[in-house]
Amino acid sequence: MSQDKLQQASGEPFYWEQLSLLLPDDVCRRGGAIDFPSRRGFLLPVYNLRYLIIPETKKIWRVEQNDQVVEEELHPFFNLMVLVYLTGAKEIKPKEKWVSEKDLKGGLNFFQGPHSLKVKELETLYGNNPAGFLKAGQSLGGKEIAYGIKAFTLDVFPRIPLSYLLWEGNEEFPPKIKVLFDSTIQSHLPLDIIWCMVAETSRRLAKEAIV
């Protein structure tokens, strides 16, 4: 799905409207956000950063360590996944049971072709650079775990962890990167937004290769 088509079909204005109608206490309790009444918004941890989401102005700002609010050029995938998370997250903690995209309900058919998880660029960038792969994950708040040649888990949102696994290639097969999800992921996000979230996470990991 192209970015333009995604933006047209995303219903982003719908989610902004829905968020503006929800009770702040409810949003915070379900998704782990923090009410920010002085700006009429929500402070939400995303990766290892903090973002301020303001329904009234339909703006998302990054909040620095010194609490200064700064504008960041955000990808449409990011905006969409944040809005869908805030409006749809459930008060359910991760079970720390990892599953693949094909284990998700409907995932076997959905995550194919244009909806295959976006990891090819990462395989090219980090397939022979496991240390760089781990460093990129740590830049997003990831913590190393014992899978493959290198792997890490990171919290995209307070209730949604992701794991990225790098498997070493050999003479017959190239290096492979796999994404795993907590088994509760579909309690919070539908399949198309899960795809967007992985695409955005992979985009940020790839960006670290050229920083």
**Confidence (pTM):** 0.92
Give pLDDT, residue 1.
Answer: 42
The CATH class, in words, for 98-210 is alpha beta
First to last CA, the chain: 27
**pLDDT tens sequence across 1-52:** 444 444 444 678 999 999 999 999 999 999 999 998 877 899 999 999 999 9
Cα–Cα distance list, 102 to 34, 89, 148, 177 (Å)? 33, 21, 19, 15
Q: Show me where the domains of the chain are located.
A: 3-88, 98-210
**pLDDT tens sequence across 35-46:** 988 778 999 999
**pLDDT tens sequence across 179-209:** 999 999 999 999 999 999 999 999 999 999 8
The span from the CA of 116 to the CA of 145, in Å, is: 24
Instruction: Give which of 88, 52, 49 is closest to 194, Cα–Cα.
Output: 88
